[in-house]
Every structure is written in C-alpha cells, then in structure tokens.
Amino acid sequence: MKLLVIGCGQCGGRIADEFARLGKVARSQRGVDILTNILAVNTDVADLSGLVNIKSDYRHRILIGANKTGGHGVGKLNEVGAEIASEDGDKVIESIRATEKLAETDAFLLAASAAGGTGSGAISVLTHLIKERYDKPVYNMVVLPFQYEELTEGRSIYNVGTCLKSIYLVADAIFLVDNQRFVRKNASLQNNLSKINYMAVRPFYNLLCAGEETVPRYIGSKVLDAGDIIQTLSGWTVIGYGKEEISRKAGFGKSSDFRDKDAQTEQGTKAMTEALGELSLKCNPNNARRALYLATGPHEAMSMDLIKELSGALKGMATEAIIRSGDYPRGKGMIDITVILSELVNSKKVVDYFARTIEYIAASKKRQGGIDWDHRGIEESFKDIPSLF
C-alpha cells in the first residue's frame, strides 16, 4: 500500500517526518516504495525548520497563515488553525497535484495532535478539501494529549473534543494514538517524543511493505494488500505491533515432534498478545467490528498451523469483528505481528473527551449566563461542540 502523508502542526509534522524516515528504510532495506509524497503543513516557521527527513523546499514544507501569525503559530487556538487552513488550503492541494507518482497513491494519511492549535484545527479542513478533489480514502492519525496536559490545560480538552468531532464527520478512518501509553518516566522530553513518534509509525512498516513486494520469495501465500486494508479501515481505529524472537528449540520446518510444533505456534501467539497489549489506544477488542493482522517472519515459520492459531486468538478477543489476515515471509529470527482493530463502537476514551468538552463549554456558557446547562443531556449537548470546517 502506498500512502501520501501530510503532517499538520508540530506534532503531525514530526510524525510525517518519521514516516519519511520509514520510507527511506523501506527503499534501502527492501527495495520498495511505500510513500508517494510526504508534506508538512504549519503556521510556525521554527517547527518546519526542525524537521529532518522531509524535503526542505516550499512544496514539501508548507507555511500557511504567515500574514496572520507572522510565522509564529496560532497559540493553541484551533479555530484559528482551521480558518487559516481553509484560506491557504490551496497551497496543500497544489503540492499534492505536483506529486510525480500521485496516480500510484492508494490513500492519504493526515496526522496531527488533537490538543494543539494548527494541527488540531487544520486536519479536518484539509481532509475535507482532499476528499472533495480525490476519489481515494483519506485517513487521519490523531495523537491524544499527555495526562498532565489534560489536568492542567482546560483548553486542551476543548481542542480534542472539537477536533475529534470534526474529523469523525469527514475522515474515512481515524487512527487514535494515546501519548500517555508510550511515556518512559526516566527519559528526557526529547527522547520521549522521538520514541513516541517511532512507536506510533513503526506498526505501519510491514503492513505497507507487504503489498508492494515484487521479489517472488518475499510474496506471501495470502497477500495483505491495499484492498484488504481499505476494506478494514472505518471510523475509530487502533493499531498495534508485537514481536517474538524465534528460539532454536522451535525448529521451524525441520521437526515433526509435537513439542516442537507446539513451540512454533506459541511464538506467534506471544507476538499476537504483545501486539494487542501495545495498541495505540487502550480499548476493548470486542468493540471492533473490523480487524486484520499481518504475520511477518521467515518463510519456514509461516505455517498453516500458525495462521490458524493467530486467527483463532484474534477472533477470541474481537468476537464481533470481520477479520482479514495475511502473511509476509520477510526477516530472520523473529515473528512480527501487526494488528488493526477498526470501526470501534463505544470507545470509552472518545466518549470521555466529548463529555469533558461539553462540560467545558457548559462552564463557559454558565459564566456568561442565560441557559440552565446542568439539566441538558449529553446527546442534546453534543451538537453544541463546534465543528471546525
């Protein structure tokens, strides 16, 4: 699968930068292209200047709203970010049009922080603009705030609520990434952010590479390609990645002993368990209506017993989901599992953000007076969360 990735705001730009690095790795290590273009869009010159892997010309690092912000950002006001994106969105469309391999793009992926200003406001507007012009899926990756941000910055909760509502109305699927899931307490802020960006993007590597392989020995018996991924992705979505080192006692492809055979399937189920435990957002797999997994490992490890065991393990967790699967005979000494759970219903985290956004709006309105907000139900109040486009 080939993506055109657009990073919105500081956080989104860094995620796009990590995708650009991953694209270079795919070309150098596997000889495949998984990206048709990578763009970063921001109102802040310094944030654009800090990127490493995205090309530095104006077609790839796109400054918007310079007349309004002076190139210094929007100060967490995501409605201003949305307004600027609406006014300057043509710059992004022009860069998309200039993409040499645009026709090869299977889908667009826009990334942003839900709690920020530029990215939180711009992502839904740009998603809407792209969907109006191109008949391809448009996915969003939204990074949720750290716990300390939620506790100390009321505006962050408001931004998250308005961003989530707006992108849900336009995007084909939304990957939710919880910053707090990947925090390492003893690491520096810079190292934490770099690690979080890496962990958010890393699960896409094998998933994107598998369908682009051209070398026969690396093509799976059951290829998981763009069509399978597109059919799986819908609504609120999470992604996870797990790996398990292959021990010598497993004896893949060499032993008929029942104990070795059990060890072989155990390697895969451990990787599956890790992938489900490392989902980008904690959720109940039973809430997923669609799911997929990709098993990556040495050719001799990709047995029918392994695939059967993995399918059963995922179905046992996501009992309501339609499950798609594939194998990718790549790598040595390791079994990797990539899992996607999609079309999530009753996401506790998302509902909580909406409820807290309504509380924030209600408190603001009560200070202004005139409406008894305490007796309005959540469904009635939901419409009062503004849309950003």
Domain spans of the chain, in order of start: 3-201, 218-225+235-342, 350-382
What mean pLDDT comes out for the span 252-269?
64
Q: Which helix (H) or strand (E) holds 346?
A: none
Q: Is a pLDDT exceeding 80 seen at residue 380? A: no
User: In whole numbers, what is the pLDDT of the chain averaged over residues?
Assistant: 89
Give pLDDT tens digits for 123-162.
999 999 999 999 999 999 999 998 888 777 778 999 999 9
* The domain defined by 3-201 carries CATH number 3.10.20.30: no
Q: Per DSSP, which regions of the chain are E strands? A: 3-8, 35-42, 61-63, 107-113, 138-144, 173-178, 235-245, 290-296, 322-328, 334-342
Q: Which CATH architecture has domain 218-225+235-342?
A: 2-Layer Sandwich (3.30)
Tens digit of pLDDT for each residue in 77-130?
A: 999 999 999 999 999 999 999 999 999 999 999 999 999 999 999 999 999 999
List, as one string, the DSSP characters of 61-123: EEE--HHHHTTB--TT-HHHHHHHHHHHHHHHHHHHHT-TTGGG--EEEEEEESSSSHHHHHH
Residue with tokens 């021990």: 247
319-335 tens-digit pLDDT: 999 999 999 999 888 99
Query: Is the predicted pLDDT of residue 370 greater than 60, yes or no?
Result: no
Q: Residues 11-59: pLDDT tens digits?
A: 999 999 999 999 999 999 999 999 999 999 999 999 999 999 999 999 9
- The answer on pLDDT for 381 being more than 60 is no
Q: How confident is the model at residue 311 (pLDDT cuts 50, 70, 90)?
A: very high
Q: Look at residue 377 in the predicted model and tell me its pLDDT.
A: 47
